[in-house]
Homo-oligomer: A and B are copies of this chain.
Amino acid sequence: MQIADSPLARKLGSFVLLTDTELETLEALHRRRRRFVAGKDLVHQGQSDQSAYVLAKGWACSYKMLPGGTRQIVDFQIPGDFFGLRSILFRTSDHNVEPVTKIEASEILATDLLDAFQRAPRLATAVLWAASRDEAMVVEHLVSIGRRNGEERMAHFLLEMSARLMLVGQGDRTGFDCPLSQYLLADALGLSAVHVNRVLRTLRHDGLVTFQRGRVTFHNIDALAELAGFDATYLDHDGPLLR
């Protein structure tokens, strides 16, 4: 069995040991490489016949708009991540996706995905697993917003992003490059942008972490994890369950 080097194959392969047919079917999903500029939505809440994507380069975010004009960012996507899957399964999208930076992504049409599941049925189980992993992240995000204060939320968020980025070979224990503005952080963490600024100042003054000029630098990652109550098990790959 050959090793595929697409991020998607690597991710799914950690759950299901993929056969050659399955690998080929996966690779076929990567025709239709697209580029998008930052800030212009590529999946639209309420629209039908939207595609899903696998992100290859750059950062994006999924969010929902509220009647008052505010929004809540549900999730950030980094290279190797899926997005827009629900737009396929529900025919019409319940959320928006906006590139945070300029991005490159493979577009996956509804029929592509359903055909792939027909050709290689175990892929459906693998995608179910990947989607559940994403759901676990949303759940942890929910817990953060529901029960952690500003500092704890920020700490947890930065640690989670760091762990996710390290899984795809970006950043290290000292920190990571981060293209998010304080407005984006606010929309994600359920805070005001002003408060995000104050929270970052507090964490900086306490010698825990610095976020300046697009770079997150950890000064005391253990104290930060302690503050956040951070437990990365929900991100861990354990080795394939399906053989």
Interface residues on A, range: 35 or more
- The answer for the CA separation of A114 and B234 in the assembled complex, in Å, is 21
**Do A233 and B138 have beta carbons less than 8 Å apart?**
no
- The answer for the CA separation of A72 and B242 in the assembled complex, in Å, is 32
**Do A138 and B142 have beta carbons less than 8 Å apart?**
yes
**Do A238 and B67 have beta carbons less than 8 Å apart?**
no
Q: Would you list which residues of chain A between 60 and 84 have a CB under 8 Å from chain B?
A: 64, 66-68, 70-72, 74
Q: Which residues of chain B are within 8 angstroms of A92 by Cβ–Cβ distance?
A: 233
Q: Would you list which residues of chain A between 178 and 231 have a CB under 8 Å from chain B?
A: 189-190, 229
Identical copies in the complex: 2
Is A41 interfacial (CB 8 A cutoff)?
no
Is A135 interfacial (CB 8 A cutoff)?
yes
**Do A229 and B66 have beta carbons less than 8 Å apart?**
yes
Is A124 interfacial (CB 8 A cutoff)?
yes
- The answer for the CA separation of A92 and B231 in the assembled complex, in Å, is 14
Which residue in B91, B140, B241 is a CB contact (below 8 Å) of A91?
B241
**Do A238 and B85 have beta carbons less than 8 Å apart?**
no
A142 CB, nearest partner CB in chain B, Å: 5
Q: List, sorted by A's number, 26 A–B pairs whose CB atoms are closer than 8 Å.
A: A15-B89, A46-B233, A64-B140, A66-B148, A66-B229, A67-B229, A68-B229, A72-B142, A74-B139, A85-B132, A89-B129, A89-B132, A90-B136, A90-B234, A94-B136, A94-B139, A114-B125, A114-B242, A117-B124, A121-B121, A131-B131, A135-B135, A138-B139, A141-B142, A142-B145, A145-B190
